[in-house]
Copies of this chain bind each other. A is one copy, B any other.
């Protein structure tokens, strides 16, 4: 019943990334992306990695200003069916459900990524469960659906990314937590347990661990050159010359690097020689 697709992925991953007991990529690798915006990551993944599909749609920040990097623990919701879930002792039932299991699986540096099928009446987690994620070292919850207790939850320190908030709790109306650490879709993008996720005010990107090291190097290079580009655009308004850097202005960038990246307004590249 395990499709060959999944076998192939497992094989590919085992052959391309360092094995850790729990499938998590090395923490140094993950934390390399701290401070790198999702927009730079998205640009680099697209131009250098064959248009890899990795940008979530519809999931946005409910804690503006938070930039979050972590390793994915996944949680899958499916439509609820009353013959399978007893209605009499709901919370007790939920407690033994995949929702509680997924939170107990959170380790330091993890992010809980949830496929709630875009449902707007399922508040996947509230203040209690998000406090638990935070206490276990989790950095964010990212939900293709909703959260609840938004006002107190914003005080916890956790990054919260979702489609919105609702007073209704998980399993309340139509969905039920079904399984955890299985492949899911979130914002129309595939997330596997152990993937690296980065989220900020633009949304979420997903990075396969096997390309992370190469990607990180490219992003750092890009981030550095954008410091120069932004400085020069702010002075001149000339996006055609400075973004992306035109070959005629390449020598200016090199002078800037040679001058140890000065940021004071008095610095000037030498005039072009034509």
Contact = CB atoms under 8 A, between A and B. Distances in A.
Instruction: Give the one of A81, A154, A165 with max B CB within 10 A.
Output: A81
Contacts of A46: 90, 168-169, 172
Contacts of A83: 12, 49, 52, 208, 210-211
Interface in A155-185: 164-169, 172, 174, 176-185
Contacts of A179: 1-3, 5-6
For this chain, the copies found in one complex come to 6
A181 B164 CA distance: 30
Contacts of A235: 135
24 contacts: A1-B181, A3-B178, A4-B98, A4-B101, A39-B167, A42-B168, A46-B169, A47-B90, A47-B91, A49-B82, A53-B82, A55-B172, A58-B120, A60-B165, A79-B190, A83-B210, A95-B244, A132-B237, A132-B243, A135-B235, A149-B202, A150-B200, A151-B202, A167-B205
A41 interface: yes
Contacts of A82: 49-53
Interface string A28-67: 0000000001110111001101111111011010001101
A117 to B, nearest CB: 6
Interface string A98-119: 1011011010000000000100
B53 A203 contact: no
B55 A168 contact: yes
A128 B55 contact: no
Given A84-B12, A226-B127, A233-B128, A167 B135 contact: no
Given A52-B81, A53-B82, A136-B237, 13 more contacts: A8-B84, A37-B149, A38-B167, A39-B126, A39-B148, A49-B83, A53-B79, A81-B189, A95-B240, A104-B238, A104-B240, A132-B237, A165-B201
Interface residues of A, number: 116
A42 to B, nearest CB: 4
